[in-house]
Amino acid sequence: MAVRKIAANESYLLVSRIHRAARCAAAPDATMPTASAIPSPIAKLRTYGSFVRFEHTLFSLPLILAGVFSSPGAGLSAARWGWIALAAVGARTAAMALNRLIDRRLDALNPRTRARELPSGAMRTAEAIALLVVSAGVYVGACAALGPWYLRVSPVPLAVFAIYPYLKRWTPLCHLGVGLALALAPLAGYAAAHPDLARPEVALWISLFALLWVSGFDIIYATLDESFDREQGVHSLVAWLGRERALKVSSFLHRAAALALVPAVVSLLHLVPEGPFARLVPAIASLALLTTVAVLLALEQRWAENVNLAFFKVNVWVGFAVLALVLVARSAAGF
């Protein structure tokens, strides 16, 4: 009787285990990705767009176009415009991918940036590297299509993009590295549109403007991380000088940036044919646009407390004002 009872109990336990195993097999594994957990292609594209901050192209694009139109020259074919656009997009994407990859560990420590794609896990490091390789390949390929000289100098911007994220580990003058990266935009546009490299003066002045403008704004942007930079030993003018004195340096750079446009305007107006009133209208329009740029830069300083306001509501218009300045003067001279 006892043997029968033990056997019955063992049978019952065996059946219970089988039922439990069946229920576990039927239940979905929480660690396995379900169809709803796999990102859709559109969601992935949004992630990639956010990763490279595609909207920030609004800062470099008008400067590239300002460089293209900074000097008289032969009209560009549709194919050449296409290669210039591909080179610009490829270089811009490679620059942001390098920046995010190099800074991913700092971004993970910073409460302000830990939600970015790499530290948050929304994007894998392998994906970022693949995006970097593809975008750099597109950029170099477009340079090769533009001509052998462009292919030879194509590593220069990539070297600048790779070096400037490290500057914050070494020097509080790191903001000039960001400025230098964007200062290449008008020079690239000019060189792509003018293979003879004749009359580079205006493009050089616009490039100096971009260097000073972006370096000054990057100081404002660094005020968001003043405490973090000090804690982690990250170098910035804000961490080194303190917020108030650093913003004075930023203000000086922005004033110098506005002044750098004056010789550019003078050079552009010299292209206008001589006549009693030929230069009057473009001179007045250029002065108005130059004043607009100066006012926008002053507003950036005034609204430095609200970095997002200064960045998206003001900064985005500065490059377009510079482009308008170039186009007004060039239209008076005839394209």
- The pLDDT assigned to 203 comes to 96
Report pLDDT digits (tens) over 281-331: 788 888 899 999 999 999 888 888 887 777 767 888 899 999 999 998 888
Domain ranges within the chain, ordered by starting residue: 53-259
**Which CATH fold would you assign to the domain 53-259?**
Tetracycline Repressor; domain 2 (1.10.357)
Locate tokens 């650093």: which residue?
246
Residue 256 or 287, more confident: 256
* Amino acid identity, position 305: E
- The pLDDT assigned to 153 comes to 97
Report pLDDT digits (tens) over 54-68: 666 777 899 999 999
- The pLDDT assigned to 219 comes to 95
Report pLDDT digits (tens) over 169-215: 999 999 999 999 999 999 999 999 999 999 999 999 999 999 999 99
What pLDDT band is residue 41 in, cutting at 50, 70 and 90?
Answer: confident
- The pLDDT assigned to 10 comes to 42
Mean predicted confidence (pLDDT) in 124-129 = 94
- The pLDDT assigned to 55 comes to 65
Q: CA-CA distance, 105 to 112, in Å (whole number)?
A: 13
What pLDDT band is residue 26 in, cutting at 50, 70 and 90?
Answer: very low
- The pLDDT assigned to 38 comes to 65
